[in-house]
């Protein structure tokens, strides 16, 4: 390889603490990044907006034929360049790709600034379920939610959650991120499985499942709202398009089988999304709270879930504790991947120490998140811009970079690490011919919808 493709590594290379301890460690960390509040809240919220099984079908289709090849492209870009998200696009595509590095950085910082606010709400709900009775009715729950989602409580939750995320990332790839995800992910699966079993015996279980899985209306397949929801959910939930998995992949060794690992990550993420739906929907249906979820905003489940569980007495409280604990674990393993984007970029670009890079990023994100902590309307707009438009645009750019500008890199990296040539050919075909046009449609629909909602 010519030296321009493989410049001296300013960061991470050759330092064992900055490598994953094992392939499983990487897969769990990447799954930790994917599985987050997007699966637990986003999926239920978007599925309940009326798409029914058409939404679920579109979402699954986008995940497999659009997001999977892009996820592999993001991993290849990280591993093959050995550079952080800010620099990797230039290394692979030349100077004209520099703006993509900056876009990765802006998106990751933007998303984390409000994601940590949502984490704060989750943590506050967990503390509440641990220490006091759940709100007795919808009115009480709404008042309670307004209390935790605005003002001092929200700011404190945001800052504490960001600080906790900073502690993990500052401890390093192996001693921080890998150590956390190796414990958190198995725990999360066990808790989710327990909740799944519990929910199956609720009186509204069948009705709950059927509201989002079994209601089939083919017209919904071409409904713009359903299409937008499916795209946003797929990209946000997998977490591809802004360099988070790219940063993780720089710490991989050359022999790690990336395509198989990507399939494992996508499979776990999708399973958790569907399983979470099979927990939240029965609760909501059992207690007749469907309108609260679909009619409302990002806060809906924070209101509906505690209310539904309150009527079950002490057992309901135990379930609430387990659910919010699970959600907090899912959230922090996602937040660390978002923080790794600016942190690794500062280390790579400026040669900073990990600690310095992490805490400077945390400070900037803390300030940037204050408006979202103080106003839910700002939070929703940040999500629409960074978690919607920027994310999907980043996915499109990744498909163009690895599919058209540097396809040889994609092929060489995958075949060099043992992926069967037929699989590589199929992935490359999807990356060139399926992902770009499909994402372009998704992007246009999202922007049009955003413009419409902001104009109205």
Three-state secondary structure call for residue 7:
coil
Check binding of 111 to ligand TRP (CB under 6 A): yes
Check binding of 54 to ligand TRP (CB under 6 A): no
Check binding of 38 to ligand TRP (CB under 6 A): yes
Span near ligand TRP by CB under 6 A; candidates 5-13, 193-201, 241-249, 396-404: 241-249
> Whole-number minimum distance, CB 84 to ligand TRP, in Å?
15
> Whole-number minimum distance, CB 236 to ligand TRP, in Å?
5
Three-state secondary structure call for residue 254:
coil
**Distance from C-alpha of 269 to C-alpha of 118, rounded to nearest angstrom:** 19
Check binding of 110 to ligand TRP (CB under 6 A): no
Interacting positions 354-383 with ligand TRP (CB under 6 A) = none
> Whole-number minimum distance, CB 143 to ligand TRP, in Å?
27
Span near ligand TRP by CB under 6 A; candidates 235-243, 260-268, 301-309, 441-449: 235-243
How many CA within 13 A on the CB side of residue 20?
Answer: 23
**Distance from C-alpha of 342 to C-alpha of 354, rounded to nearest angstrom:** 11
Q: Which of 333, 356, 394, 412 is nearest to 11 (CA)?
A: 356
Check binding of 67 to ligand TRP (CB under 6 A): no
Candidates 334, 344, 417, 419; binder of ligand TRP (CB under 6 A) is 334
Cβ burial, residue 378 (10 Å; 0-12/13-18/19+):
middle
Q: Under 8 Å CB-to-CB from 299, ≥6 apart: which residues?
A: 121, 145, 149, 376
Candidates 12, 39, 122, 259; binder of ligand TRP (CB under 6 A) is 39
Task: Please check whether residue 78 is in contact with residue 246, taking contact to mean a CB–CB distance below 8 angstroms.
Answer: yes
Check binding of 165 to ligand TRP (CB under 6 A): no
Give the other-Cβ count within 10 Å of 456's Cβ. 5
Task: Please check whether residue 124 is in contact with residue 117, taking contact to mean a CB–CB distance below 8 angstroms.
Answer: no
Give the other-Cβ count within 10 Å of 251's Cβ. 26
Candidates 114, 121, 212, 236; binder of ligand TRP (CB under 6 A) is 236
> Whole-number minimum distance, CB 100 to ligand TRP, in Å?
15
Task: Please check whether residue 289 is in contact with residue 307, taking contact to mean a CB–CB distance below 8 angstroms.
Answer: yes
Interacting positions 8-37 with ligand TRP (CB under 6 A) = 33-34, 36-37
Span near ligand TRP by CB under 6 A; candidates 91-99, 136-144, 238-246, 299-307: 238-246
> Whole-number minimum distance, CB 384 to ligand TRP, in Å?
13
Residue found by looking up tokens 């399983």 in the block:
275
**Distance from C-alpha of 414 to C-alpha of 418, rounded to nearest angstrom:** 7
Of the pair 11, 41, the CB lying nearest ligand TRP is at: 41
* Residue 126 in tokens: 């967990």
Candidates 338, 339, 366, 398; binder of ligand TRP (CB under 6 A) is 338
> Whole-number minimum distance, CB 262 to ligand TRP, in Å?
14
What string of DSSP letters covers 122-144?
HHHHHHHHHHSPPPSSHHHHHHH
Check binding of 181 to ligand TRP (CB under 6 A): no
> Whole-number minimum distance, CB 108 to ligand TRP, in Å?
7
Check binding of 75 to ligand TRP (CB under 6 A): no
How many CA within 13 A on the CB side of residue 177?
Answer: 37
Candidates 51, 239, 436, 442; binder of ligand TRP (CB under 6 A) is 239
Q: Which of 313, 292, 316 is nearest to 304 (CA)?
A: 292
Span near ligand TRP by CB under 6 A; candidates 204-212, 214-222, 232-240, 443-451: 232-240
Count of positions on this chain that bind ligand TRP (CB under 6 A): 17
**Cα dihedral value 226, 230, 231, 233, nearest 10:** 130
**Distance from C-alpha of 237 to C-alpha of 453, rounded to nearest angstrom:** 23
How many CA within 13 A on the CB side of residue 242?
Answer: 31
* Residue 47 in tokens: 């599925």
> Whole-number minimum distance, CB 206 to ligand TRP, in Å?
27
> Whole-number minimum distance, CB 137 to ligand TRP, in Å?
30
Candidates 125, 337, 372, 417; binder of ligand TRP (CB under 6 A) is 337
**Distance from C-alpha of 273 to C-alpha of 21, rounded to nearest angstrom:** 28
x/- mask, ligand TRP, residues 291-330, rule CB under 6 A, reads ----------------------------------------
Interacting positions 378-407 with ligand TRP (CB under 6 A) = 391
Per CB under 6 A, residues contacting ligand TRP are: 33-34, 36-39, 111, 236-237, 239, 241-242, 244, 334, 337-338, 391
């Amino acid at each position: 390889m010519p030296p321009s493709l493989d410049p001296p590594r300013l960061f991470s290379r050759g330092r064992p603490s900055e490598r994953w301890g094992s392939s499983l460690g990487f897969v769990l960390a990447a799954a930790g990044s994917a599985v987050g509040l997007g699966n637990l809240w986003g999926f239920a919220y978007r599925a309940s907006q009326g798409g029914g099984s058409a939404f679920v079908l579109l979402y699954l289709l986008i995940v497999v034929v659009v997001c999977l090849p892009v996820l592999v492209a993001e991993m290849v870009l990280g591993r093959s360049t050995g550079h952080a998200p800010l620099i990797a696009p230039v290394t692979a595509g030349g100077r004209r790709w520099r703006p993509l590095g900056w876009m990765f950085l802006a998106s990751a910082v933007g998303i984390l600034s409000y994601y940590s606010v949502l984490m704060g709400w989750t943590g506050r709900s967990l503390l509440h379920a641990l220490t006091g009775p759940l709100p007795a009715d919808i009115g009480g729950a709404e008042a309670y939610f307004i209390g935790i989602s605005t003002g001092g409580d929200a700011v404190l939750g945001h800052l504490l959650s960001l600080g906790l995320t900073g502690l993990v990332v500052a401890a390093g790839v192996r001693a921080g991120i890998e150590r956390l995800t190796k414990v958190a992910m198995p725990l999360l699966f066990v808790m989710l499985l327990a909740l799944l079993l519990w929910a199956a015996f609720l009186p509204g279980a069948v009705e709950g499942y059927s509201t989002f899985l079994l209601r089939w209306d083919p017209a919904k397949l071409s409904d713009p709202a359903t299409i937008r929801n499916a795209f946003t959910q797929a990209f946000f939930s997998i977490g591809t398009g802004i360099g988070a998995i790219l940063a993780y992949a720089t710490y991989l060794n050359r022999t790690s089988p990336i395509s198989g690992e990507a399939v494992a990550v996508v499979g776990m993420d999708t399973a958790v999304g569907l399983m979470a739906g099979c927990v939240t929907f029965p609760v909501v249906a059992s207690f007749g709270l469907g309108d609260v979820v679909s009619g409302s905003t990002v806060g809906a489940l924070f209101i509906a879930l505690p209310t539904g569980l309150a009527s079950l007495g002490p057992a309901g409280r135990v379930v609430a504790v387990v659910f919010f604990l699970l959600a907090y674990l899912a959230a922090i393993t996602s937040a660390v991947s978002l923080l790794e984007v600016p942190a690794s970029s500062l280390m790579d670009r400026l040669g900073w120490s990990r600690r310095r890079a992490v805490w400077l990023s945390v400070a900037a994100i803390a300030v940037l998140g204050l408006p979202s902590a103080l106003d839910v309307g700002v939070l929703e707009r940040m999500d629409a811009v960074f978690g919607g438009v920027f994310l999907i645009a980043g996915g499109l750019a990744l498909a163009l970079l690895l599919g058209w500008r540097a396809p040889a890199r994609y092929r060489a990296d995958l075949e060099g690490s043992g992926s069967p040539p037929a699989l590589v050919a199929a992935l490359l075909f999807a990356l060139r011919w399926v992902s770009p046009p499909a994402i372009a449609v998704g992007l246009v629909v999202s922007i049009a919808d955003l413009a419409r909602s902001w104009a109205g």
